[in-house]
Amino acid sequence: MEKDFSKVVSSEVEDILQGDVPYFYSYIDSNKIKNSKDENTDIFLDESPLDKVLMKINNLSGKDKERQLYFIHMSFLAKTTNSHKDETNTLFSNNIVDNTINNNELRELAVQIGDYIIDKSISGYSENRLDRTWISTILIGRDECNWSLAPVGNSLYDGNSGIALFLGHLNKVTGKNRFIQAASEAIEGVIHEIEVLDTKYPFLIGPYNGISGYLYSIYQIYKITEEPRFLNVIKEKIHLLYELIPKDKNIDVISGVSGTIGVLLSIYNDSNDEDLKEKLLHACKLCFKHIKESKIEFFGDSIAWGSGGIYVPCTGFAHGNAGIISYLIKLYKIVKDEDILDIIKKALNYERHFYAHEHKNWYSSEENKHVSLAWCHGAPGILLSRLILKESGYNDDYIDHEIKIALETTMEQGFGNNPSFCHGDLGNLSIVEYAAKVLKDKDLLNRCTNTFNFMFNNVLKDRWGNGVFSGTESMGLMIGLASFGYGLLREIDKSSVPEILWF
């Protein structure tokens, strides 16, 4: 029987004629709908809101109830975070003795973390394909100091792309198929977002919270599964970048065109598909064109990037000049455009204006005169940048000295604050290990191994199930459980598990 909406229509017309906004309401325990004059409309809900909620509660399984309690617990943890809980008491080791780590122990803990992450996931069907995602505590805001319980989204930083990357490589290291199955399901949500993306609306393009990071993770899962569909998604959807690159306001590594160059070149250098390589290089050239057109001149011989508001010119790897020039030099090795070298030189000049002799570190920006000790800001990221330049064949009168200073500062002050990849021990250790490789320093490499030994025995083993960051339980790759697991995998097999702080 069709419902009679005549009273609804007449109520709306009367309200409008009186200059009022029409509205209708119902009580939580009633299925009757009333108008603005408290009159029944003869339209009834199939059941009251309270009955509907009670029905859903009564239909919850034991697993569903456990998950709801978990969400409530995580919500309270997100409101009572304490950054002091992040401190690890890790010091960079002075021990140069070659102490091998038992890979079986590392592998066992990585499997435990992987199984736990899968257990906390939510699965369902989208477009007739099984997919998987998570609700977790995540960092919110550009300053990354507040936590909130929310769906993780699809980013590489703390969403499906990053979690899938960990689970996929966990399969690669252990041979356990349940992990690549979960990784493939997690990547389905990423693919779906790409397929419905409308470039008329703003969308970030960078590796850690944008579309290039989606493509990177899909490519990594493709390499593990050899599933042609994943490669086809990249080839068919890379054109989205062509449309979004000119709109990018960030320019930086985290969200913008510079990091996009890094991701695309990592795929370019790995792939044998000439059609794909041509598309990737075209996108990289568009990125460079945008970088070139967006530069701002300072001090007569210096340049930086920043379009105003929160996008201020700054130093450092994640958001500033250090990261931008790192991927420009990688592009130069392929395209040999001399304009790139000129931009690198002037960008270095800008960054050097912010060196703080008293701290043996670099200020973040003109507006932010403090020093940091992380990949994102400060000496560790500067060190990474200079190492990439040096390994790529770029040098000047200052780079070796900057490497020496930044390495000393990172080793002396860059450990113990928190265990994360983004701005903590795992990330800084990765950078110092890279320094040992570039500088061919065996003793330094042994010190890195011994530092990881301490972290494994005193931090990773103890903390992974007890509030990973600030007392919360985040699942993500850069600051969550997946970062613990990924750090373990990197220690087991650095040759096949790629770095995530640079590409």
Residue 482: strand, helix, or coil: helix
Bridge partners of 151, per DSSP, are 135
Contact (Cβ atoms closer than 8 angstroms) between residue 472 and residue 147:
yes
Distance of CA 465 to the CA centre of its chain: 21
Non-local CB neighbours of 441 within 8 Å, separated by 6+ positions: 435
145 annotated as a binding-site residue: no
Nearest residue to 392 via CA among 335, 346, 315, 332:
332
Contact (Cβ atoms closer than 8 angstroms) between residue 356 and residue 404:
no
Q: What does DSSP say about strands 146-151 and 129-133: parallel, antiparallel, or unpaired?
A: unpaired
Cα–Cα distance measured from residue 327 to residue 312, given in angstroms and rounded to the nearest whole number: 20
Distance of CA 366 to the CA centre of its chain: 26
Give the other-Cβ count within 10 Å of 255's Cβ. 27
Residue 186: strand, helix, or coil: helix
Give the other-Cβ count within 10 Å of 282's Cβ. 15
Nearest residue to 119 via CA among 190, 178, 54:
178
Q: What is the DSSP secondary-structure string of 308-373?
A: BTTB----SSSSSHHHHHHHHHHHHHHH--HHHHHHHHHHHHHHHTTEETTTTEEBS-SS---B-B
Biggest CA pair distance of the chain: 87
448 annotated as a binding-site residue: no
376 annotated as a binding-site residue: yes
Cα–Cα distance measured from residue 244 to residue 263, given in angstroms and rounded to the nearest whole number: 16
Distance of CA 242 to the CA centre of its chain: 22
| Amino acid code (one letter) for 494 | K
Residues at the annotated binding site?
A: 376, 422-423
Binding residues for Zn(2+): 376, 422-423
